Amino acid sequence: MKKIPTMFVRDFGSRPAHVLPAVTPGCEWVLAGEGRATRKYDGTCVMLDGAGEWWARREVRPGRPTPPNYVVVSTDGETGKTVGWEPIGQSSFVTFHAEAVRNGYTGNGVAGTFELIGPKINGNPERSGSHLLVQHATAQDVDLAELTFEGIRSTVLALAAADGCEGIVWHHPDGRMAKIKARDFGSGRS
């Protein structure tokens, strides 16, 4: 999974970094209304590949060794972090993933990416009673009243306050994606 660009330009000079009311180059299509907005679930990303093998997304900081059998996807030029996949069996999420599969995994063996959520994942901001897999391709749609910085900001913060929603991911018909998180607006969410 390639790193999804943040919808608005990040101010890396602030700590923690937050976004400015300027669109990240290449994400203008979102404000033009060209994509589908979906819920960004707050868990950890896993993938079922075409061979039926499960992988966990993993970021490796600069200067740190990569784990065995790690498949590099890309390196972020701004942070230096490498993003890639490690076999789920060597991931710290293996037990919770196995539980999620037992709890009614509904992907029907279709290759793709999923969000692993539940009580032991990231402090359970999704407020899930058990570990579950949510298929990204079928994520819940989000309605936005206004495609502006303030309109997106107010929607994202309201969703986060209501039920722990991490943010929004937009999907363009040609495959491009963009995202925004509640914490990008300095909301205090981790």
For residue 51, what are the domain limits?
Answer: 42-138
Q: Cα(162)–Cα(27) distance, rounded to whole angstroms?
A: 27
Q: What are phi and psi of 2, to 5 degrees?
A: -70, 145
The tokens describing 72, both together, are 């590099």
Domains identified in the chain, total number = 2
62/133 same-domain check: yes
108/76 same-domain check: yes
Element (H, E) at 20: strand 18-23
Q: Can you say whether the dihedral through the CA atoms of 57, 30, 186, 81 is positive or negative?
A: positive
70/13 same-domain check: no
For residues 55 and 49, the answer to whether their CB atoms sit within 8 Å is yes
Per-residue pLDDT of the chain (190 residues; tens, 9 = 90+): 677 899 999 887 777 778 999 999 999 999 999 999 999 999 999 999 999 999 999 999 999 999 999 999 999 887 899 999 999 999 999 999 999 999 876 666 788 899 999 999 999 988 899 999 999 888 999 999 899 999 999 999 999 988 888 999 999 999 999 999 999 998 554 4
Q: Cα(125)–Cα(134) distance, rounded to whole angstroms?
A: 14
48/134 same-domain check: yes
109/92 same-domain check: yes
49/130 same-domain check: yes
Terminal CA-CA length for the chain: 22
Element (H, E) at 60: strand 54-60
Q: Cα(87)–Cα(133) distance, rounded to whole angstroms?
A: 16
| Residue 78 burial (C-beta neighbours within 10 Å; 0-12, 13-18, 19+) | exposed
- 190 domain residue, yes or no: no
pTM to 2 decimal places: 0.83
64/127 same-domain check: yes
Pairing of strands 167-171, 112-117: unpaired
